[in-house]
Each structure stands twice: as structure tokens, then as C-alpha cells.
Structure 1
Amino acid sequence: MEIILQSTITCPNCGHKKEETMPTDACQYFYECENCKTVLKPQQGDCCVYCSYGSVKCPPIQQDKMLLTKINKPSH
């Protein structure tokens, strides 16, 4: 499995969508909608705006899921 770096953020205020490249080395806590200028913050329990409003979870979460899949995969 490969880490996906492109995610489409959808503004919960106006519905504007924009494809963005996610950072691989940090979580993005703030994101300003270019349409309505609302500053998005992660919802409770999410680490970043991509996990809350993106079409794809952030790279660290994707990596964690891949590791869990590997660990839980039965070996023959």
C-alpha cells in the first residue's frame, strides 16, 4: 500500500472543495477556506483538518493503519 498525499478538503461552512497536497512531516491544524475565509480546525478526536474535512486521512494516520494491518495479518 502506498501513502496518498492528495486530499480534497470540503468546507463545512460553504461546501467549497479544493484538492491539496498534505504535509508528510506534520499535522495541519488550521486551514482557511479560499472561498468563504472560514478557518477550519480539526473536529474533536481528529489530529488535523485532513482527518476532519478531507477525502483522505493524513499520512501519519494512513501509516498507522498500514502498520496495524501488517501486525494483525496472520502469518502462514
Structure 2
Amino acid sequence: MYDGKTVELKSTITCPKCGHKKDEIMPTNACEFFYECKNCKTRLRPLEGDCCVYCSYGSVKCPPIQVGTGCC
């Protein structure tokens, strides 16, 4: 639960450089602005207009976006 709503916390991040996929658990108390690909070590940052790496590269958007409260 997040802000009284049920959210999905598991998101699969896909590296845009090498295509590597990794399941991650999203934090509910902070945004992740940086993420290092476990395969090629590329440091990912959110794309313009996105608030975090999960919104840009994840299979599921971050908890605040899921519940409609805007960016974290």
C-alpha cells in the first residue's frame, strides 16, 4: 500500500544499451535517479520528462506515478 492504494513494487529495468533485464524492487520513500546496468555497467538516468529510472526504463512506473500523485 502506498498512500492508501495498492501499487506494484516490482519492476523490470531494461538497459537501452545492451538490452539486459533485471527485476528490481522499487523504493516507496525515494526516487532512483541513477541505476547501473548489472551487465554492461552503463549508468542510466531518467529520460527528459520522467522522474526516475523506473519511469524511463522499468516495466512498471514508480509508486507515486501509479497512484497519481505525480513525481516522487
TM-score (normalised: structure 1): 0.82
User: Tell me, which stretches of 5 or more residues in structure 1 are unaligned?
Assistant: 66-76
Question: How far apart, CA to CA, are the structure 2 residues paired with 1:63 and 1:25?
Answer: 14
| 1:68 corresponds to | none
Matched residue count: 65
* Deviations 1:12-58, CA, capped at 9 Å, x for gaps: 00000000000001110000001000000000000000000000000
Q: Name the structure 2 match of 1:42.
A: 46
Q: Which has the larger radius of gyration?
A: 1
Give the ranges of 4+ consecutive aligned residues of structure 1 lying more than 6 Å apart after TM superposition.
none
Does 2:32 match 1:28?
yes
Structure having the larger proportion of residues in helix: 1
Q: How big is the shift at 1:64?
A: 1.0
